[in-house]
Amino acid sequence: MNISSQISDSEPPSPLDTEIETRKAEHLRVCLEEDVEFRQVTSGFEGYRFTHCCLPELDYDDINLATHFLGKSLKAPILISSMTGGTEFARLVNTRLATVAQRYGLAMGVGSQRIIVEQPSLAPTFAVRSCAPDILLLANIGAVQLNYGYGLEECLRVVELLEADALILHLNPLQECVQSRGDKNFKELLPKIAQLCEELPVPVVVKEVGNGISSPVAQRLIAAGVAAIDVAGAGGTSWAKVESQRAKDHKQRRLGQTFADWGLPTAECLRSIRAVVPEIPLIASGGLKNGLDIAKAIALGGDLAGLARPFLEAAATSEAALDEFTDILIAELETALFCTGNSDLASLKSSGMLQPIT
Protein backbone atom coordinates (compact mmCIF):
# COMPACT_ATOMS: atom_id res chain seq x y z
CA MET A 1 0.00 0.00 0.00
CA ASN A 2 1.43 3.38 -0.92
CA ILE A 3 0.38 5.93 1.63
CA SER A 4 3.04 8.56 0.93
CA SER A 5 0.65 10.40 -1.36
CA GLN A 6 -2.16 10.20 1.20
CA ILE A 7 0.14 11.60 3.88
CA SER A 8 1.45 14.41 1.73
CA ASP A 9 -2.03 15.28 0.38
CA SER A 10 -3.33 15.78 3.88
CA GLU A 11 -0.15 17.29 5.26
CA PRO A 12 1.11 20.38 3.49
CA PRO A 13 4.46 21.42 4.97
CA SER A 14 3.74 23.71 7.88
CA PRO A 15 5.87 25.89 10.12
CA LEU A 16 4.64 23.74 13.00
CA ASP A 17 6.58 20.79 11.62
CA THR A 18 8.82 19.49 14.40
CA GLU A 19 11.10 16.55 14.88
CA ILE A 20 8.38 14.63 16.78
CA GLU A 21 5.77 15.41 14.14
CA THR A 22 8.04 14.13 11.37
CA ARG A 23 8.79 11.03 13.44
CA LYS A 24 5.06 10.33 13.88
CA ALA A 25 4.45 10.62 10.12
CA GLU A 26 7.40 8.35 9.41
CA HIS A 27 6.24 5.73 11.92
CA LEU A 28 2.93 5.47 10.06
CA ARG A 29 4.61 5.34 6.67
CA VAL A 30 7.22 2.76 7.68
CA CYS A 31 4.65 0.57 9.47
CA LEU A 32 2.40 0.61 6.39
CA GLU A 33 4.97 0.32 3.62
CA GLU A 34 8.03 -1.54 4.92
CA ASP A 35 8.74 -4.98 6.35
CA VAL A 36 8.57 -4.39 10.11
CA GLU A 37 7.61 -7.86 11.37
CA PHE A 38 9.83 -9.90 13.64
CA ARG A 39 11.94 -12.25 11.49
CA GLN A 40 12.06 -15.58 13.35
CA VAL A 41 10.53 -14.89 16.73
CA THR A 42 6.77 -15.42 16.80
CA SER A 43 4.07 -14.49 19.31
CA GLY A 44 3.94 -18.15 20.38
CA PHE A 45 0.20 -18.65 19.85
CA GLU A 46 0.88 -21.10 17.02
CA GLY A 47 2.27 -23.44 19.69
CA TYR A 48 -1.21 -23.92 21.17
CA ARG A 49 -4.35 -25.61 19.87
CA PHE A 50 -7.90 -25.72 21.18
CA THR A 51 -9.54 -29.09 21.64
CA HIS A 52 -12.42 -29.19 19.17
CA CYS A 53 -15.87 -29.85 20.58
CA CYS A 54 -18.26 -31.25 17.98
CA LEU A 55 -21.18 -31.11 20.40
CA PRO A 56 -21.15 -27.56 21.76
CA GLU A 57 -24.75 -27.69 23.11
CA LEU A 58 -24.98 -23.96 22.39
CA ASP A 59 -26.89 -21.67 20.09
CA TYR A 60 -24.19 -19.56 18.34
CA ASP A 61 -26.45 -16.52 18.76
CA ASP A 62 -26.22 -16.86 22.54
CA ILE A 63 -22.44 -16.35 22.58
CA ASN A 64 -21.62 -13.33 24.70
CA LEU A 65 -18.25 -11.60 24.38
CA ALA A 66 -19.07 -8.82 26.87
CA THR A 67 -16.56 -7.98 29.56
CA HIS A 68 -15.46 -5.26 31.99
CA PHE A 69 -12.04 -3.66 32.19
CA LEU A 70 -10.91 -0.86 34.52
CA GLY A 71 -14.53 -0.21 35.45
CA LYS A 72 -15.87 0.10 31.89
CA SER A 73 -18.13 -2.25 29.94
CA LEU A 74 -16.93 -3.59 26.59
CA LYS A 75 -18.93 -5.59 24.05
CA ALA A 76 -15.84 -7.62 23.12
CA PRO A 77 -12.43 -8.07 24.82
CA ILE A 78 -10.54 -6.18 22.15
CA LEU A 79 -8.21 -3.20 22.44
CA ILE A 80 -7.11 -1.10 19.49
CA SER A 81 -3.56 -0.64 20.77
CA SER A 82 -1.89 2.75 21.16
CA MET A 83 -0.63 4.08 17.85
CA THR A 84 -0.86 7.57 16.64
CA GLY A 85 -1.69 11.27 16.70
CA GLY A 86 0.07 14.52 15.88
CA THR A 87 -0.43 14.73 12.10
CA GLU A 88 -3.42 15.20 9.80
CA PHE A 89 -3.19 11.63 8.54
CA ALA A 90 -3.02 10.44 12.17
CA ARG A 91 -6.19 12.43 12.88
CA LEU A 92 -7.97 10.56 10.08
CA VAL A 93 -6.70 7.18 11.37
CA ASN A 94 -7.67 7.99 14.97
CA THR A 95 -11.15 9.13 13.92
CA ARG A 96 -11.76 5.93 11.95
CA LEU A 97 -10.44 3.75 14.77
CA ALA A 98 -12.56 5.51 17.38
CA THR A 99 -15.68 5.28 15.25
CA VAL A 100 -15.28 1.53 14.88
CA ALA A 101 -14.39 1.15 18.58
CA GLN A 102 -17.65 2.88 19.49
CA ARG A 103 -19.68 0.81 16.99
CA TYR A 104 -18.32 -2.53 18.24
CA GLY A 105 -17.88 -1.58 21.92
CA LEU A 106 -14.07 -2.00 21.94
CA ALA A 107 -11.35 -0.20 23.90
CA MET A 108 -8.86 2.12 22.23
CA GLY A 109 -5.51 3.71 23.01
CA VAL A 110 -3.96 6.66 21.21
CA GLY A 111 -0.27 7.13 20.41
CA SER A 112 2.18 8.96 22.61
CA GLN A 113 0.76 12.39 23.47
CA ARG A 114 4.14 13.94 24.25
CA ILE A 115 3.78 15.90 21.03
CA ILE A 116 0.77 17.79 22.40
CA VAL A 117 2.55 18.69 25.61
CA GLU A 118 5.19 20.30 23.39
CA GLN A 119 2.73 21.58 20.73
CA PRO A 120 -0.79 21.99 22.19
CA SER A 121 -2.14 23.09 18.79
CA LEU A 122 -1.91 19.44 17.68
CA ALA A 123 -4.31 18.20 20.40
CA PRO A 124 -7.23 17.90 17.92
CA THR A 125 -5.35 15.14 16.05
CA PHE A 126 -5.94 12.94 19.14
CA ALA A 127 -9.40 14.21 20.12
CA VAL A 128 -11.65 11.23 19.46
CA ARG A 129 -13.98 11.32 22.45
CA SER A 130 -16.79 12.98 20.50
CA CYS A 131 -16.93 10.03 18.06
CA ALA A 132 -16.51 7.44 20.82
CA PRO A 133 -18.41 8.72 23.86
CA ASP A 134 -18.77 5.32 25.58
CA ILE A 135 -15.51 3.47 25.00
CA LEU A 136 -12.66 2.72 27.38
CA LEU A 137 -10.20 5.31 26.05
CA LEU A 138 -6.55 5.25 27.06
CA ALA A 139 -4.10 8.16 27.04
CA ASN A 140 -0.42 7.42 26.35
CA ILE A 141 3.00 8.77 27.27
CA GLY A 142 6.49 7.25 27.44
CA ALA A 143 7.39 6.30 31.02
CA VAL A 144 10.94 7.51 30.39
CA GLN A 145 9.62 11.06 30.04
CA LEU A 146 9.25 11.00 33.85
CA ASN A 147 13.06 11.33 33.80
CA TYR A 148 12.94 14.21 31.32
CA GLY A 149 10.86 16.78 33.15
CA TYR A 150 7.42 15.20 32.95
CA GLY A 151 5.35 14.65 36.07
CA LEU A 152 1.82 14.68 37.40
CA GLU A 153 0.94 17.95 35.64
CA GLU A 154 1.85 16.74 32.12
CA CYS A 155 0.21 13.35 32.69
CA LEU A 156 -2.99 14.99 33.94
CA ARG A 157 -2.99 17.29 30.93
CA VAL A 158 -2.83 14.45 28.38
CA VAL A 159 -5.56 12.52 30.23
CA GLU A 160 -7.82 15.58 30.37
CA LEU A 161 -7.22 16.63 26.76
CA LEU A 162 -8.23 13.17 25.58
CA GLU A 163 -11.06 12.78 28.15
CA ALA A 164 -9.40 9.43 28.83
CA ASP A 165 -10.41 6.80 31.37
CA ALA A 166 -6.83 5.74 32.15
CA LEU A 167 -3.22 6.56 31.30
CA ILE A 168 -0.87 4.10 29.61
CA LEU A 169 2.84 4.53 30.31
CA HIS A 170 4.90 2.76 27.68
CA LEU A 171 8.28 1.20 28.40
CA ASN A 172 10.44 1.11 25.26
CA PRO A 173 14.16 0.84 26.15
CA LEU A 174 15.12 -0.93 22.92
CA GLN A 175 13.26 1.54 20.72
CA GLU A 176 15.00 4.45 22.47
CA CYS A 177 18.38 2.77 21.84
CA VAL A 178 17.73 2.36 18.12
CA GLN A 179 16.11 5.78 17.65
CA SER A 180 18.55 8.57 16.83
CA ARG A 181 18.89 10.75 19.95
CA GLY A 182 16.55 8.45 21.90
CA ASP A 183 15.86 9.11 25.58
CA LYS A 184 17.93 6.44 27.31
CA ASN A 185 17.97 7.46 30.98
CA PHE A 186 15.72 4.79 32.50
CA LYS A 187 17.33 5.17 35.96
CA GLU A 188 15.05 5.11 39.03
CA LEU A 189 11.85 5.20 37.01
CA LEU A 190 9.95 2.79 39.25
CA PRO A 191 9.56 5.18 42.22
CA LYS A 192 8.31 7.85 39.79
CA ILE A 193 5.78 5.42 38.33
CA ALA A 194 4.71 4.55 41.89
CA GLN A 195 4.23 8.23 42.76
CA LEU A 196 2.19 8.81 39.62
CA CYS A 197 -0.01 5.79 40.42
CA GLU A 198 -0.68 7.34 43.81
CA GLU A 199 -1.43 10.86 42.58
CA LEU A 200 -3.14 10.48 39.22
CA PRO A 201 -6.95 10.36 39.59
CA VAL A 202 -7.27 7.70 36.84
CA PRO A 203 -5.72 4.22 36.70
CA VAL A 204 -2.19 3.81 35.33
CA VAL A 205 -1.52 0.96 32.89
CA VAL A 206 2.01 -0.01 31.85
CA LYS A 207 2.80 -1.54 28.47
CA GLU A 208 5.81 -2.42 26.34
CA VAL A 209 5.83 -1.68 22.63
CA GLY A 210 6.50 -5.18 21.28
CA ASN A 211 9.40 -6.59 23.29
CA GLY A 212 7.37 -7.97 26.20
CA ILE A 213 7.14 -7.67 29.98
CA SER A 214 8.62 -10.48 32.11
CA SER A 215 6.94 -11.73 35.28
CA PRO A 216 9.60 -10.24 37.64
CA VAL A 217 9.14 -6.81 36.04
CA ALA A 218 5.35 -7.23 36.14
CA GLN A 219 5.58 -7.97 39.87
CA ARG A 220 7.64 -4.83 40.47
CA LEU A 221 5.15 -2.73 38.52
CA ILE A 222 2.20 -4.19 40.41
CA ALA A 223 3.96 -3.52 43.73
CA ALA A 224 4.39 0.08 42.52
CA GLY A 225 0.62 0.37 42.14
CA VAL A 226 -0.11 -0.01 38.41
CA ALA A 227 -3.73 -0.94 37.76
CA ALA A 228 -3.12 -3.15 34.72
CA ILE A 229 -0.35 -4.49 32.52
CA ASP A 230 -0.23 -4.87 28.75
CA VAL A 231 2.51 -7.35 27.92
CA ALA A 232 2.98 -6.03 24.33
CA GLY A 233 5.22 -8.97 23.56
CA ALA A 234 7.42 -10.01 20.66
CA GLY A 235 6.20 -11.60 17.45
CA GLY A 236 4.38 -8.80 15.65
CA THR A 237 5.65 -5.31 14.91
CA SER A 238 9.37 -5.04 15.66
CA TRP A 239 10.16 -1.49 16.75
CA ALA A 240 13.85 -2.19 16.33
CA LYS A 241 13.08 -2.77 12.65
CA VAL A 242 10.82 0.29 12.41
CA GLU A 243 13.50 2.57 13.85
CA SER A 244 16.19 0.85 11.78
CA GLN A 245 14.21 1.54 8.58
CA ARG A 246 13.97 5.25 9.33
CA ALA A 247 17.48 5.68 10.75
CA LYS A 248 19.66 8.11 8.84
CA ASP A 249 23.01 6.77 10.02
CA HIS A 250 24.60 3.37 9.65
CA LYS A 251 25.11 2.76 13.38
CA GLN A 252 21.41 3.12 14.23
CA ARG A 253 20.36 1.07 11.19
CA ARG A 254 22.73 -1.71 12.18
CA LEU A 255 21.57 -1.66 15.83
CA GLY A 256 17.96 -2.11 14.73
CA GLN A 257 18.83 -5.02 12.45
CA THR A 258 20.84 -6.79 15.15
CA PHE A 259 18.00 -6.47 17.65
CA ALA A 260 15.15 -7.07 15.17
CA ASP A 261 14.12 -10.30 16.92
CA TRP A 262 14.74 -9.18 20.52
CA GLY A 263 12.10 -9.76 23.16
CA LEU A 264 9.77 -12.10 25.00
CA PRO A 265 7.06 -13.76 22.90
CA THR A 266 3.57 -12.67 23.86
CA ALA A 267 2.25 -16.13 24.81
CA GLU A 268 5.26 -16.67 27.08
CA CYS A 269 4.70 -13.30 28.84
CA LEU A 270 1.04 -14.16 29.47
CA ARG A 271 1.78 -17.60 30.90
CA SER A 272 4.61 -16.46 33.12
CA ILE A 273 2.79 -13.38 34.48
CA ARG A 274 -0.45 -15.29 35.10
CA ALA A 275 1.49 -17.98 36.98
CA VAL A 276 2.59 -15.46 39.61
CA VAL A 277 -0.14 -12.79 39.59
CA PRO A 278 -3.53 -14.41 38.97
CA GLU A 279 -5.56 -11.25 39.69
CA ILE A 280 -3.97 -8.29 37.87
CA PRO A 281 -5.98 -7.00 34.90
CA LEU A 282 -3.87 -8.17 31.96
CA ILE A 283 -3.83 -7.14 28.32
CA ALA A 284 -2.42 -9.58 25.77
CA SER A 285 -0.85 -7.89 22.76
CA GLY A 286 2.03 -8.16 20.33
CA GLY A 287 1.68 -10.14 17.12
CA LEU A 288 -2.02 -11.05 17.37
CA LYS A 289 -3.46 -11.32 13.87
CA ASN A 290 -6.97 -12.74 14.12
CA GLY A 291 -9.83 -13.71 16.40
CA LEU A 292 -8.38 -17.17 17.00
CA ASP A 293 -5.22 -15.53 18.42
CA ILE A 294 -7.51 -13.42 20.60
CA ALA A 295 -9.28 -16.56 21.88
CA LYS A 296 -5.91 -18.16 22.68
CA ALA A 297 -4.72 -14.97 24.43
CA ILE A 298 -7.85 -14.98 26.61
CA ALA A 299 -7.47 -18.70 27.38
CA LEU A 300 -3.86 -18.04 28.42
CA GLY A 301 -5.03 -15.50 30.99
CA GLY A 302 -5.45 -12.21 29.14
CA ASP A 303 -8.50 -10.10 29.99
CA LEU A 304 -8.29 -8.01 26.82
CA ALA A 305 -6.43 -8.66 23.59
CA GLY A 306 -4.75 -5.77 21.77
CA LEU A 307 -3.83 -5.39 18.11
CA ALA A 308 -1.97 -2.42 16.67
CA ARG A 309 -0.66 -2.73 13.10
CA PRO A 310 -3.48 -4.98 11.81
CA PHE A 311 -5.97 -2.25 12.82
CA LEU A 312 -3.72 0.43 11.31
CA GLU A 313 -3.56 -1.35 7.95
CA ALA A 314 -7.33 -1.64 7.77
CA ALA A 315 -7.89 1.95 8.95
CA ALA A 316 -5.42 3.33 6.40
CA THR A 317 -7.31 1.54 3.62
CA SER A 318 -10.81 2.82 4.32
CA GLU A 319 -13.52 3.00 6.95
CA ALA A 320 -15.28 0.10 5.20
CA ALA A 321 -12.12 -2.05 5.30
CA LEU A 322 -11.73 -1.32 9.01
CA ASP A 323 -15.35 -2.20 9.67
CA GLU A 324 -15.01 -5.46 7.77
CA PHE A 325 -11.75 -6.37 9.55
CA THR A 326 -13.36 -5.80 12.96
CA ASP A 327 -16.46 -7.77 12.02
CA ILE A 328 -14.27 -10.72 10.93
CA LEU A 329 -12.17 -10.55 14.15
CA ILE A 330 -15.34 -10.86 16.21
CA ALA A 331 -16.73 -13.71 14.08
CA GLU A 332 -13.41 -15.58 14.47
CA LEU A 333 -13.48 -15.12 18.24
CA GLU A 334 -17.11 -16.25 18.45
CA THR A 335 -16.34 -19.29 16.29
CA ALA A 336 -13.50 -20.28 18.65
CA LEU A 337 -15.90 -20.07 21.60
CA PHE A 338 -18.61 -22.00 19.73
CA CYS A 339 -16.32 -24.82 18.61
CA THR A 340 -14.94 -25.25 22.13
CA GLY A 341 -18.45 -25.26 23.63
CA ASN A 342 -18.04 -22.00 25.57
CA SER A 343 -20.74 -19.36 25.61
CA ASP A 344 -18.70 -16.59 27.29
CA LEU A 345 -15.17 -15.47 28.09
CA ALA A 346 -15.19 -16.68 31.70
CA SER A 347 -16.03 -20.22 30.60
CA LEU A 348 -13.40 -20.07 27.83
CA LYS A 349 -10.79 -19.11 30.43
CA SER A 350 -11.65 -21.89 32.84
CA SER A 351 -12.34 -24.54 30.19
CA GLY A 352 -8.79 -25.89 29.98
CA MET A 353 -9.41 -26.48 26.28
CA LEU A 354 -6.24 -24.76 25.08
CA GLN A 355 -3.32 -27.16 25.00
CA PRO A 356 0.32 -26.75 24.01
CA ILE A 357 1.09 -28.66 20.80
CA THR A 358 3.63 -31.27 21.74
Ligand X SMILES: Cc1cc2nc3c(=O)[nH]c(=O)nc-3n(C[C@H](O)[C@H](O)[C@H](O)COP(=O)(O)O)c2cc1C
Given the rule CB under 6 A, which residues bind ligand X? Answer: 27-28, 31, 81-84, 111-112, 140, 170, 207, 209-210, 232, 236-237, 285-288, 307-309, 312
- Taking the complex as a whole, the smallest distance from the CB of residue 69 to ligand X amounts, in Å, to 16
CA distance 122 to 117: 9
CA distance 72 to 166: 11
- Taking the complex as a whole, the smallest distance from the CB of residue 217 to ligand X amounts, in Å, to 16
- Taking the complex as a whole, the smallest distance from the CB of residue 83 to ligand X amounts, in Å, to 4
Nearer to ligand X among residue 301 and residue 306 (C-beta) = 306
Contact 115, 86 (CB under 8 A): yes
- Taking the complex as a whole, the smallest distance from the CB of residue 135 to ligand X amounts, in Å, to 16
Nearer to ligand X among residue 203 and residue 210 (C-beta) = 210
Nearer to ligand X among residue 44 and residue 341 (C-beta) = 44
- Taking the complex as a whole, the smallest distance from the CB of residue 32 to ligand X amounts, in Å, to 8
Contact 7, 322 (CB under 8 A): no
- Taking the complex as a whole, the smallest distance from the CB of residue 355 to ligand X amounts, in Å, to 24
122 φψ region: left (φ > 0), alpha (ψ -120 to 50), beta (else): alpha
Nearer to ligand X among residue 306 and residue 341 (C-beta) = 306
Angstrom distances, CA of residue 57 to CA of 308, 338, 340: 35, 9, 10
Q: Mind giving me the DSSP string for 227-272?
A: SEEE---BSSB-HHHHHHHH-SSHHHHHHHHHTTT-S-BHHHHHHH
- Taking the complex as a whole, the smallest distance from the CB of residue 81 to ligand X amounts, in Å, to 4
Nearer to ligand X among residue 45 and residue 341 (C-beta) = 45
Contact 337, 291 (CB under 8 A): no
**Which residue type occupies 197?**
C
Nearer to ligand X among residue 316 and residue 337 (C-beta) = 316
The three-state secondary structure class of 154 is: helix
- Taking the complex as a whole, the smallest distance from the CB of residue 347 to ligand X amounts, in Å, to 26
Angstrom distances, CA of residue 31 to CA of 1, 192, 331: 11, 31, 26
Nearer to ligand X among residue 45 and residue 340 (C-beta) = 45
Q: Which position's Cβ is nearest ligand X? A: 236
- Give CA 148 to chain center in angstroms: 23
Angstrom distances, CA of residue 148 to CA of 93, 151, 356: 29, 9, 43
Q: 213-246: buried (b, 16+ CB within 10 Å) or exposed (e) per residue?
A: bbbebbeebbebebbbbbbbbbbbbbbbbbbbbb
Nearer to ligand X among residue 193 and residue 312 (C-beta) = 312
